Structure 1
Amino acid sequence: MKISKIMEQLKMILPILLGTAIYAFGLLYFIIPSKLMEGGITGITLLLNYAFSISPSLSTLLLNIPLFLIGWKMLGAKQIIYTGVGIGSLTFFLWLFEKMIHFGWMGTFQTEHDFILSSLYAGVTLGAGLGIVFRFGGTTGGSDIIARILNRKFGWSMGRILLVIDIVIISASLLYIPKEKILYTLVAVFIASKMIDFIQEGAYSARAFMIISDHTMDIADMITKDMDRGVTIIPAVGAFSKQAKHVAYCVVSRQEIRRLHQIVKSVDPRAFIIIQDVHDVHGEGFKEE
């Protein structure tokens, strides 16, 4: 039993390690040599590197440690544990690639005039890395932790919080890099967002689950307890069996898709699950007017 649990954890952790490795590679191979930018805490680490030549691995670790500790206290261990894995592995791979570049074991992609290739490939690698991390329930920390805390405390939309943070940080970068580099950065950010959606197997940031099971109430209780998501129970009648049933309806963010699926199957492996694209979501945990 213990071995199976360890294997299950490894199936979640190893892809997060791969994703952070790809993300760190994109930062050091494409972004930094071309002096492009990123949003969130990563953007702050880039600004510190451009302005004061501070190592991205060092600043990533120092900026994320207090945020991780605050998140652990306010969000709980279950919601933050894979974020810790993401922060630790991102810091390690940034350090590793920095050493490889320093000793000449790895080159960087540099161009003097046309930065469109840098921005395109940066968007692909950063988006691929983050997409893998998100798909398996992790994050790279930073502004994601801030957004989760503010969302829980004040009910503000996580998407809007992240957008405001990105705008502030990218705007601040105008003090250190030319405005045309900001435009190239926006290209990279756009490509990265599309790549994340592609890896997450969908174009939207939320999914609606309809779950039909003989253990609907048990599933709903686990979702509410483990994921802090609301569940609506809908009375229904099977057309063939003529038996009364209950349908659970729940909307989750793209980072939570895999976790919800695991909960349902752990309670009832025979549950019938319908997953739908959600174009727009308003309410607690999502967009607030």
Structure 2
Amino acid sequence: MLAEKNCRYHGFTEDSMNTAKLSSIIKTVAPIMLGTAVYAFGLLYFIIPNQLMEGGVTGITILLNYGFGIPVFLTTLLLNLPLFLLGWKELGGRQIIYTGVGIGSLSFFLWVFERMIALGWVEPFQTEHDFILASLYAGVTLGLGLGLVFRFGGTTGGVDIVARICGRRFGWSMGQVILVIDVVIIGSSLLYIPREKILYTLVAVFISSRVIDFIQEGAYAAKAFTIISDFGQEIAELITRDLERGVTLIPSIGAYSKQAKHTVYCVVSRQEIRRLSQLVKSVDPRAFVIISDVHDVQGEGFREI
């Protein structure tokens, strides 16, 4: 009753809140499903036709497909059930729901693409010599698919669950965790796959891990300027006037000179790096400037929050 009164007080109705909640869920689930579709496509269009490998549970399903002809979608679904139960205990309610969406949609899209290939609607990319091209495109598509899934809080099961748990507990990069596990599993497949194909597979896995981290960190990259100068106030005013960028002045004291000054902090786009450097030099040629990478900038003048 109290919650309902608060909603009415702030101008919200129960229907509007339910609509907003449903819209939020759709905006999260849709990219996860898109990511699994891209991943399934890369797997069946580039990996399997060229007898390449993958890591994790997917690698096991591929080996079973190569050896016994078992459909990939079926083994993907069955092998992920125990890991799904593990994720249920570790990841929490909302994340495990999105994991279930990822596992279900991946199995579904694998089945869809397998049927389309079997019916001749899609012709896989198969080559006898240019495996480097196949491995490059496989790495990009698989990394793009997994990156989208991870960015919106889901997983596709398998080692993705393990990677997310490691990221949550130890702060490890999910791309790096997947890379290490994949190398171990792919290395063990040397008993079944020619060494040449394994080496091409490692190229695909490496590229995939880099694309995953790129998608996770954000496609938009900017530069952060930390400027230490005796003319901090003047530099800040010039940046605000000429570049129309927000500036933060941080009070600081020189350890050697013991003099109080202002450290200037500002984030700009890549196109504004040279212009900002020139503005700083025009005020203080001896300013100490630190330029660092910034990923996924949100706020006024950059990406909307």
| Bigger relative contact order, structure 1 or 2 (CA pairs below 8 A, ≥6 apart) | 1
The equivalent residue for 2:128 is: 112
**What is the distance in 2 between the residues matched to 1:189 and 1:142?**
15
The equivalent residue for 1:3 is: 19
Kept after mapping to 2: 8 A contact 1:64/1:141: yes
Does 1:100 pair with 2:122? no
Q: Which of 177, 182, 185 matches 2:198?
A: 182
The equivalent residue for 2:289 is: none
Answer with 42-51 or 12-21: which moved more.
42-51
Q: Which of 66, 73, 82 matches 2:82?
A: 66
Q: How does 1:146-157 map to 2 (within 5 A)?
A: 146-148=162-164
Residue identity in the other structure for 1:79: Q
Does 1:91 pair with 2:111? no
**What is the distance in 1 between the residues matched to 2:94 and 2:57?**
22
Q: What secondary structure is seen at the aligned counterpart in 1 of 2:49?
A: coil
Kept after mapping to 2: 8 A contact 1:83/1:139: yes
The equivalent residue for 1:144 is: 160
The equivalent residue for 1:229 is: none
Kept after mapping to 2: 8 A contact 1:68/1:141: yes
**What is the distance in 1 between the residues matched to 2:156 and 2:124?**
23
Q: CA deviation at 1:148?
A: 4.8
**What is the distance in 1 between the residues matched to 2:213 and 2:184?**
24
Q: How does 1:1-289 map to 2 (within 5 A)?
A: 1-148=17-164, 162-202=178-218
C-alpha distance after superposition, 1:140-197 (max 9, x if no partner): 11112234557788x6957676444323210121111111111111111122122223
Q: What is the aligned-residue identity percentage?
A: 69
**What is the distance in 2 between the residues matched to 1:31 and 1:185?**
8
**What is the distance in 1 between the residues matched to 2:167 and 2:193?**
32
Please list every run of 5 or more consecutive structure 1 residues that lacks an aligned counterpart in the other structure. Answer: 204-237, 240-274, 278-289
Kept after mapping to 1: 8 A contact 2:182/2:205: no
* Alignment length (residue pairs): 209
Residue identity in the other structure for 2:56: G
Structure possessing the higher radius of gyration over alpha carbons: 2
**What is the distance in 1 between the residues matched to 2:213 and 2:177?**
19
Q: CA deviation at 1:75?
A: 3.2
TM-score normalised to the size of structure 2? 0.62
C-alpha distance after superposition, 1:29-53 (max 9, x if no partner): 0000001111111111111111221
Distance change in 2, residues 1:169/1:98 (3 Å): same
**What is the distance in 1 between the residues matched to 2:131 and 2:163?**
31
TM-score normalised to the size of structure 1? 0.65
Kept after mapping to 1: 8 A contact 2:46/2:124: yes
Q: CA deviation at 1:276?
A: 5.3
C-alpha distance after superposition, 1:259-278 (max 9, x if no partner): xxxxxxxxxxxxxxxx956x
Please list every run of 5 or more consecutive structure 2 residues that lacks an aligned counterpart in the other structure. Answer: 1-16, 220-249, 252-292, 296-305
Question: What do you get for the CA RMSD once the two structures are aligned?
Answer: 2.7
